Structure 1
Amino acid sequence: MRLRLIGFLLACLSFGCLLGDASNAAESVIGQKVQSFALPNAYGKEVSLDDFTDRKCVAIVFLGTECPLVKLYGPRLNDLQAKFGEDGLQVIGVNSNKQDSLTEVAAYVHRHEITFPMLKDKGNVVADAMGAQRTPEVFLVDADRVVRYHGRIDDQYGVGYSRDKKTHSDLAIAVKALLAGDEIAQPETEAVGCHIGRVKKIAETGEVTFSKHIAPIFHARCVSCHREGEIAPFTLTSYEDVLGWEDTILEVIDDNRMPPWSANPDHGEFANDARLSAEERSLIEQWVDGGMPEGDPNDLPALPKFTAGWQIGEPDQVIQMRDKPFTVPAEGVLDYQRFVVDPGWTEDKFVVACEARPQNRSVVHHILVFVIPPNGKRVDLQKVLVGYAPGSTPLELNDGIAIHVQAGSKLLFEMHYTPNGTVQEDLSYIGVKFTQRENVAKELKGAVAINTRFRIPPGEANHVVTAAKGVNSDKKLLSMTPHMHLRGKAFRYVARFPDGTEEILLDVPRYDFNWQIKYILKEPRLIPKGTSIHCRAVFDNSEYNLSNPDPSKTVGWGEQSWDEMMIGFMDYVDAD
């Protein structure tokens, strides 16, 4: 048993219990009574549970300030209070995170226009006594302060998935039944979200310290996204930033959700492999179990220097995605946004560098910029000019290599936005650098193994779709990018060589639509003439796929995320 779990249980025992005799969060809390508590609100004024004795029911919801799900559900709790407040409901938010100060709680209240009391549980006394583990997590109590419902708010958002809309409003259904005096049909659901950042009762006994061992790992692997102004939900740039997130960090590492990387390590070596090494994982675990000592601040390495301006240098041309900013709503699932731009290229262009820059990094998940050939209405899937995802690098070509774009071509910006709880605006753009035709020795080209004629039956959990691309001259393969939508489950590239042998070039056993990763080979792979590259995609159209918009529908090819695609993108140059 981990020391952090022992510390948590000791904390529960030392603080006593507000939930009757319950001190074990694994046991059901339904039917147990919550004793009164008093905590300061976001502005320091004390608020007690006894202040709401006139209420027929109270939803005690554990929240944080930076958890992505809390940012989305805060406004939804406002709506719940507005809908049922006159009938006798009171929502109370409780922040037990040690990493969230009163100032940050007040900022969360202001930013999300929270209308219900938001209280600060310093030392996580109430969270420990009630057995709360996550943010958000709901305890709905009746007029006698007995727990009648415990779990999630609804099923729209979860860890690693977002539905187009909720299919079951668990908390609202429970409130309605309780106010009507009816039995709650489903009194307990699983709460999903971030771990509550607890004050650990663990002595700092470990030899692994943040300054000497952990900070270098986070600097190398995490802070490119987990820093101020980037899309990650919280920062990891200092010791104080990390405290309180340790359990969440361990969970996403153990589940291989972070850093984002889905390639099977048994096949291929990649220049942009983001995985933590076994030693790095072990050090982080030892540090948490050892009480998370800071160590000597003199051992702390300097933060990496991130380029504030263009990483490719001053571009020859800057191209915006549209004339005016696009408004990103506060919540919900926003489908791909596509904007066609005429860059005004009246002569052929030879691109040697291109960089996509999100204007609002807090909501831009990724950018893809395709070329639309002259007089064409559709994009050329074999010509992706540039892409952006958190932590990615721009396109920079050397050794006489360039991308050839015909005169009169237009550009398609494909934008993937992630709402973060407040209405935002974005006007992303790219910068491009050119060279003259006489300087170009080779063209960077794209190829696709694609299948548009498939039908995925409803409820099918392992539907296989295949496609192949023949190679008519010797090539050097540089990268591969599998592409599917919300039902994508797995993807594999296999080269079948002229001599009859086969090689797995890339295997992605757990495809994640949220991360459109380009897998860049560490060394270009020679693909001889006569080879065929076979792509195998597996789709999960069952109810067990939590991202599935509708498991009852037959699904085919389409541009929107509720449709599907099956594309194996490849970048290559002609061999010498």
Structure 2
Amino acid sequence: MWKTGLRFWAVILLGCATCWSADTSRESKLGEKVESFTLLNCYGKQVSLDDFASSQAVAIVFLGAECPLAKLYGPRLTDIQEQYAERGVQVLGINSNSQDSLTEVAAYVHRHEIGFPMLKDPGNRIADALGAQRTPEVFLIDHDRIVRYHGRIDDQYGVGYSKERDPKPELTLAIEALLTGQPIALAETKAVGCHIGRVKEIAATGEITFNKHIASIFNSKCMSCHRDGEIAPFTLTGYDDVLGWEDTILEVIDDNRMPPWYADPAHGTFANDARLSELERELIATWVENGMPEGDPKDLPEPPVFATGWQMEEPELVIKMREEPFSVAAEGVLDYQHFVVDPQWDEDKYIVSSEARPDKRGVVHHILVFVIPPGEDRRDFRQVLAGYAPGSPPMEFEDGLAIEVKAGSKLLFEMHYTPNGSATDDLSYVGFRFTDKENVRKRVRGRAAIDQDFVIPPNAAKHEVTADYVVKHDENLLSLTPHMHLRGKSFRYDAHFPDGRTETVLNVPNYDFNWQLKYVLDTPLNLPKGTRIRCTAVFDNSKYNLTNPDPSQSVKWGDQSFEEMMIGFMDTVPVQDNL
């Protein structure tokens, strides 16, 4: 019926919001003295801690060239340097990653306009001396080189989330206290970021090798996002690319954060299930434990081929999201952008393939192209013509299937961007192919169970909202996409059949706004007339939800992520032709 996943989309917040974690298991260095060290800066010149002997405070910050948080915080650290330079404060960056060369460190400095010295720590000697584990991670020392603050720069970013509200500037508060002779109220916080890629002392041994066992896993489960030009923070296209990232890889696999997949395995089977098998998990873990042997080059599989242009057949019509590019800031939280385009369709259109394409893949979180029906000023949530997320295929129909769009309709581009540390201009677009009405045997329908009238009370940790979709003609259910915003906690689809049976079609017990996945059924589910699909959403508006913009406020329906939505998207086709 269709060649690839129907309108499959999956969004990625902050490039790879689930690729970092918090450091929690380490002996504190507060009160200890930092011994002097000398390292080369990114231009090959020696820089010593003694060069800053007159400074009242030095913020030693461990950074990585590809870590998404290091990219976001680089400009912020430059602002701190400029703000406090006249008061005797020096920011000093150190890169201890084995995978980052001096050239890559220099590129990081130029790309993000770093305004403080950036040093290279070969063999992670300084990282080991201080016990640094993450990037970014700060050690603030006083004039006597005693560690007075350790941890993160601020609390805007956590494991898999980005706060909408103003962050608590913990490093800045510590600097102010130190300069004014006041006690630092919060002297130690959890560092959040990527693992430092340390040099491994384990000899590579064993029969499990990258070329024979691991490369094929990365090719099939990771490389669609983890390759040059895509939004993931580092590449996994070859053996050398993996070295230095192994601790981060193991961590996100163990925590079930990568590859992203949130369906409860007790309910339903899905054609696009992204999970690693237990065997694949064991192979990766054993390979790292054995020192990551590369193996025989003859065993290396052919890498997957990804389209550099259109994945679909050349489109008949290409529509840009607007006339001029949209400017994406270097950092911060950028909410949804909506652009309305009039394609000037003066006759009904029957779409058989579509593909949304980002202009700048490094910052495009997701694209959704909705229909605004003729004579209306709001989008129809049931009509999504195209979607993009890294790795998602175009929409392509066969066997007389098509989406019908009425003459006079407009298009709404919903764009979600993720700043990556560099200001970027984007002008994304969508392509379509059409067929004639007489060729259409079945119209693909977007369905939705929606509640727009809910009110989530302040501080409610488990507020339940339900909505129903009732089947009017026999149809087959193809896919399901739950949609909520930052307070979303869980989402479930239950089918109540006319014969009294009830079946849980999809259960997402731990909803993640960062990854709004379309779950494509392995076998379409027949829904007889009268079947009721009940969607049950649970919202967490409490202070314990770290992504919550403001737990003290009641929350209602709204487009932006600081508001909320409750939508159970579905795709169906009629059982009978020409319905």
TM-score (norm 2): 0.94
Decide whether the 8 Å contact of 2:359 with 2:429 is kept in 1: yes
Q: Which amino acid aligns with 2:503?
A: E
Amino acid at match of 1:160: G
> Which piece of structure 1 moves more, 417-426 or 255-264?
255-264
Counterpart of 1:86 in structure 2 is 86
CA distance in 2, matches of 1:542, 1:254: 27
Q: What amino acid does structure 2 have at the position aligned with 1:112?
A: H
Q: CA deviation at 1:94?
A: 0.5
Task: Work out whether 1:423 is the aligned partner of 2:423.
Answer: yes
What is the DSSP-based 3-state SS (H/G/I as helix, E as strand, rest coil) of the residue aligned with 1:403?
A: strand
Per-residue deviation, 1:25: 6.6
Instruction: Quote the residue 1:158 is aligned against.
Output: 158
In 2, Cα distance between the equivalents of 1:483 and 1:192?
Answer: 27
Query: Counterparts of 1:477 and 1:492 in 2: how far apart (Å)?
Result: 15
Structure 2 partner of 1:562: 562
* Alignment of structure 1 residues 376-455 onto 2, 5 Å: 376-455=376-455
Letter of the aligned partner of 1:140 in structure 2?
L
**In 1, are the aligned partners of 2:442 and 2:573 still within 8 Å (CA)?**
yes
Taking every aligned residue pair, what percent have the same amino acid on both sides? 67
Shift of 1:160: 0.8
Q: Which 10-residue stretch deviates more, 71-80 or 307-316?
A: 307-316
Q: Which residue does the alignment assign to 1:6?
A: none
Aligned residues: 553
Q: Give the aligned partner of residue 261 of structure 2.
A: 261
Q: Give 1:133 shift.
A: 0.4
What is aligned with 1:29? Answer: 29
In the other structure, the counterpart of 1:368 is 368
- Counterpart of 1:124? 124
Which residue in 1 is equivalent to 2:550? 550
Q: What residue ranges of structure 2 are gaps of 5+ in the alignment?
A: 1-23
- CA drift of 1:102 comes to 0.1
Correspondences of 1:218-237 after superposition (within 5 Å): 218-237=218-237
1:447 Cα deviation from its structure 2 partner: 1.0
Alignment deviations for residues 205-259 of structure 1 (CA, whole Å, 9 cap, x no partner)? 2321111111000001111111111111111101111000001111111111111
Q: Deviations over 1:176-218 (max 9, x none)?
A: 0001111101100000110000001111123211111110000
The answer to whether the 8 A contact 1:372-1:412 is kept is yes
What letter is aligned with 2:142?
D
**Separation of aligned partners in 2, 1:167 and 1:299:** 49
2: CA distance, partners of 1:166 / 1:92: 25
Provide the rounded CA distance (Å) in 1 between the counterparts of 2:417 and 2:341.
Answer: 19
- The alignment partner of 1:175 has SS state of helix
CA contact (8 A) 1:354 1:432 kept: yes
After superposition, the C-alpha distances for 1:507-565 in whole angstroms (9 at most, x for unaligned) are: 11111111221111111110111110000111111122121111111111111110000
What is the alpha-carbon distance in structure 2 between the residues aligned to residue 266 and residue 425 of structure 1?
44
Mapping 1:140-539, distance limit 5 Å? 140-539=140-539
Answer whether contact 1:210 1:294 (CA < 8 A) is retained: yes
In structure 1, how many angstroms separate the alpha carbons of the residues matched to 2:543 and 2:290?
A: 41
Partners of 1:126 and 1:508 in 2: how far apart? Answer: 43
Distance apart, 1:165 and its partner CA: 3.9
TM superposition shift of 1:127: 0.4
1:170, 1:413 → 2: CA distance? 38
What SS does structure 1 have at the residue aligned with 2:186?
coil
Cα distance in 1 for residues equivalent to 2:503 and 2:33? 62
How far off its partner does 1:302 sit?
1.6
In structure 2, the residue matched to 1:9 is: none
Once the two structures are superposed, what CA deviation does each residue of 1:112-147 show, in whole Å capped at 9, x if it has no partner?
Answer: 111111000000011011100000000001111110
SS in 2 for 1:438: helix
Contact 1:372 1:411 in 2 (8 A): yes
Which residue does 2:10 correspond to in 1? none
Q: Is the 8 A contact 2:461 2:542 kept in 1?
A: yes
The corresponding residue for 2:4 is none
Contact 2:364–2:418 (Cα < 8 Å) also in 1:
yes
Distance (Å, rounded) in 2 between the aligned partners of 1:143 and 1:409? 66
CA positional deviation for 1:91 = 0.6
3-state SS in 2 of match to 1:90: strand
**SS in structure 2 at match of 1:76:** helix
Q: Which amino acid aligns with 1:259?
A: P
Q: Deviations over 1:448-476 (max 9, x none)?
A: 11111111122222111111111122110
2:449–2:534 Cα contact (<8 Å) kept: yes
Q: Are the equivalent residues in 1 in contact too, given 2:352–2:403 (CA < 8 A)?
A: yes
Post-superposition Cα deviations, 1:80-132, rounded to whole Å, max 9, x if no partner, equal: 11111111111100000000000000000011111111000000011011100
Would the aligned equivalents of 1:206 and 1:286 in 2 still touch at CA under 8 Å? no
CA RMSD in angstroms, aligned pairs only: 1.0
In 2: Cα distance, 1:313 partner to 1:470 partner: 36
Distance in 1, Cα, partners of 2:362 & 2:59: 30
Q: C-alpha displacement at 1:159, in angstroms?
A: 2.5
SS in 1 for 2:489: strand
SS at match of 1:193: strand
2:165–2:550: 8 Å Cα contact kept in structure 1? no
1:486 CA displacement: 0.7
**Corresponding residue for 1:575?**
575
* AA in 1 matched with 2:557: W
Counterpart residue number, 1:48? 48
Please tell me the residue identity of whatever aligns with 2:271.
A
| Structure 1 segments unaligned to the other structure (5+ residues) | 1-23
Aligned with 1:493: secondary structure? strand
3-state SS of 1:108 partner = helix
Contact 1:207/1:290, CA 8 A, preserved across alignment: no
Work out whether residues 287 and 293 of structure 2, in 8 Å CA contact, stay in contact via their aligned partners in 1. Answer: yes
**TM-score (normalised: structure 1):** 0.95
**Maintained 8 Å contact 1:25/1:132:** no
AA in 1 matched with 2:320? Q
- Give the match's secondary structure for 2:103: helix
* Cα separation, 1, equivalents of 2:488 and 2:155: 20
Q: Report the residue type matching 1:44 in the other structure.
A: G
1:8 aligned residue: none
Task: Measure the CA separation in 2 of the matches of 1:410 and 1:449.
Answer: 23
What is the alpha-carbon distance in structure 2 between the residues aligned to residue 512 and residue 524 of structure 1? 25
Match of 1:39, as an amino acid? Answer: L
The letter for the 1-side match of 2:195 is H
Q: Distance in 1 between matches of 2:237 and 2:32?
A: 41
Letter in 2 for 1:73: Y
Structure 2 equivalent of residue 70 of structure 1: 70
- SS of the residue corresponding to residue 85 of structure 1 reads helix
